[in-house]
Structure 1
């Protein structure tokens, strides 16, 4: 580590500059020949490296919806008052309060976490209200028609909410709702054109493939937002965060479904899956963790933890291990995986990114 590196690490540790700016500044100075000679490694240098990694890990994916305890306090008040008003007056009383609070807390005061809470409250309001209306036709409509009518209620309110208040979660919710409508509409078109019932287990594979295509679409949009803001300094990065949070589990379980539906509907939680299918699930989870490292999004790591535990459970169950053993082994494997990836996130990411061509990594978030 050079003296320059150490100075930059200290600046990042004190919060003078953000960690992801350190590598950019180093590259800028190196291009102009401003490089200090290396010094002998010592404990202090190692601590500086560790501090830089810790700071980089904090800054690499930090959505701007928690800015302090003030936001948390206000959000608690928002949640409590909306729950109380919902119990007293239902949706007709709650919606005006959501909009009034949004005008005060989001449009005027620009509070981040309350904006998320109010967006979630709006989604809940739209969902409950839409369910009341479409439930009147539950017996007359086919299941997919019912779901399509329900989902169609979300885009306009979310679009208007984003247009007025510019909340990234509202924009992400709008895109996800449109993607879901597209998936359901495609399934409905397949049912009519092929004359099949997708609720029949014989056609679950087609259902999984359609969901997977929709999830890929959401992931593509998320990546579009990510590469448009590689330094993650604008709200486009926050929108990408929410989109990845939706796309990651959808992609994962779409792929997992393709693996397990081929075993007559067996799943890793019923103990009937084979060792090969459990191994395939572990490979899929590992692939998702690799993708998460490349794009610096932890949603692709966390989304696979349940499947990882289930796959370990299945493998131990197939070998005849006792219940006490494989329950705790599964927990231990998942916990160790989380800790290793979490602690060594930046080091692992540097290794992975260094193996990729520069044309691929140039527009990704910088690996410090």
Structure 2
């Protein structure tokens, strides 16, 4: 089984001609009765060996972290130890040299990247906690800022060496963490500010994702994979912060007006998702629209069947949308100005 990335690599290596690769894509698209540009391909598994190696890597990294925790260097028992993160980061990089750079295994590469970036951030954060064990809100935010900066730097180094598509999203999230925590250090104690900053960070990462998407409108290169992960990082930031600011989950009950607003926002997310041909926004906000519809059904009197009716409506709607995705997207895109459509992914690869 060959992935889109394998086709790209084969073309780049001269093993097959670009027109042959395109003919194969068109053939597969015809078999599936949907343009491949709408499929949102991303590489997660190259085979079951990916799962096997991933499990073994997680076990090894847990063991290394546990051993690092024994090297406390004066840190109290209840505090994290920087050696845990440092050893995890070092071992993750070493494993990536083989499983990512040589074997090009998808799932292990993702896990090793997250372990490397997380280990680097954890190590810096642990040092900060050890140096300032009684840090207040402002100083604590600065420690988190330094940890996020270490994570962003680690992601940049990893990208320079291995170029795993998810790395850009991880680095962008870490960079957003730097900005958010830096502002929170300057303005502590504001309960709403973190969610406003999270929303701004999500929109910024969404804009970055669109920049990567616009550079590969046919979605045939690694840049599309990078954009996929950026959208996946931006969507929960946007959805969770926005719905929290609306107070959707402040209590077990939700007013009819607020529930209708949630559904309207979900429809708006759906229109955006169709236009940009990315489904991350729909997935990230799914829990909120489920809760809103559940509340509407309860207030309409269907107390015992509210969850069943909610699942029936949402499940049916999403399946119908999936089946008619290309047609619905064509209808949306054709209604947009040319200046916008010329920056969106093609409706099919033939347009490229």
Go from structure 1 to structure 2 and tell me whether the alpha carbon gap of 1:84 and 1:146 turns closer, same or farther (over 3 Å shift). Answer: closer
After superposition, give the CA deviation of every residue in 1:204-237 in whole Å (9 maximum; x if it has no partner): 2x44333222211111111001101112222221
1:246 pairs with one of 210, 223, 233: 233
The answer to whether residue 280 in structure 2 is matched with residue 286 in structure 1 is no
The answer to whether residue 178 in structure 2 is matched with residue 171 in structure 1 is no
Check conservation: 2:88, 2:115, Cα contact below 8 A: no
Q: Which residue of 2 is the match for residue 150 of structure 1?
A: 147
What is the alpha-carbon distance in structure 1 between the residues aligned to residue 276 and residue 150 of structure 2?
33
The answer to whether residue 293 in structure 2 is matched with residue 312 in structure 1 is yes
Q: Which residue of 1 is the match for residue 15 of structure 2?
A: none
What TM-score comes out, normalization by structure 2 length?
0.78
Q: Which residue of 1 is the match for residue 313 of structure 2?
A: 333
After superposition, give the CA deviation of every residue in 1:79-114 in whole Å (9 maximum; x if it has no partner): 333334434555354333212211112222322322
1:139 pairs with one of 134, 144, 148: 134
Go from structure 1 to structure 2 and tell me whether the alpha carbon gap of 1:307 and 1:105 turns closer, same or farther (over 3 Å shift). Answer: same
Q: Which residue of 2 is the match for residue 18 of structure 1?
A: 25
Q: Which residue of 2 is the match for residue 77 of structure 1?
A: 56
Check conservation: 1:20, 1:231, Cα contact below 8 A: no
1:57-136 → structure 2 map (5 Å cutoff): 60-89=39-68, 91=84, 93-136=87-130
What is the alpha-carbon distance in structure 2 between the residues aligned to residue 116 and residue 145 of structure 1?
28
Q: Which residue of 1 is the match for residue 221 of structure 2?
A: 234
Go from structure 1 to structure 2 and tell me whether the alpha carbon gap of 1:316 and 1:159 turns closer, same or farther (over 3 Å shift). Answer: same
Which protein shows a greater Rg? 1
Which stretch of structure 1 is more off in the superposition, 238-247 or 115-124?
Answer: 115-124
What is the alpha-carbon distance in structure 2 between the residues aligned to residue 20 and residue 220 of structure 1?
33
SS of 1:154's equivalent in the other structure is helix
| Structure 1 unmatched ranges of 5 or more | 1-13, 23-47, 261-266
1:267-306 → structure 2 map (5 Å cutoff): 267-268=248-249, 270-306=251-287
| Structure 2 unmatched ranges of 5 or more | 1-20, 70-83
Go from structure 1 to structure 2 and tell me whether the alpha carbon gap of 1:101 and 1:336 turns closer, same or farther (over 3 Å shift). Answer: same
Q: Which residue of 1 is the match for residue 159 of structure 2?
A: 162
Q: Which residue of 2 is the match for residue 255 of structure 1?
A: 242
SS of 1:277's equivalent in the other structure is helix
Cα drift, residue 294 of structure 1: 0.8
Check conservation: 2:125, 2:147, Cα contact below 8 A: yes
Cα drift, residue 134 of structure 1: 3.2
Check conservation: 2:118, 2:151, Cα contact below 8 A: no
